[in-house]
Amino acid sequence: MRRIVYILFILLAIGCIAKPDYVGGYRPRLVVDGSIETGSGAVVALSQTIPFEDHYSEEDFRDMVIRWAKVTVECGDRHEVLVGRSNEDYPTRFIYTGSEIIGRAGECYTLVVEYSGHIWRATTTIPEAVVLEDVRREIFSDTLCTITATLPPCATPCAVDCALGGSSYFAPTLLGVYDADDAPRRVTINRPMDNLYRQDYDVHFSLRDTVALKLRTMGQFAYEYWNLWQNNVINSLNPVFPAVDNLPTNISGGAVGIWAGYGSSVYVLRD
| pLDDT value at residue 240 | 52
Model pLDDT for residues 127-166, shown as the tens digit of each residue:
999 999 999 999 999 999 999 999 999 999 999 999 998 9
Phi, psi of 85 (to 5 degrees): -155, 155
| pLDDT value at residue 22 | 39
Q: Which fold has domain 2-127+235-261?
A: Immunoglobulin-like (2.60.40)
Q: Under a CB-based contact definition with an 8 Å cutoff, are residues 38 and 75 in contact? A: no
More confident residue, 102 or 237: 102
Distance (Å) of CA 4 to CA 10, 45, 59, 60 = 10, 15, 10, 10
Q: Under a CB-based contact definition with an 8 Å cutoff, are residues 49 and 61 in contact? A: no
More confident residue, 209 or 98: 98
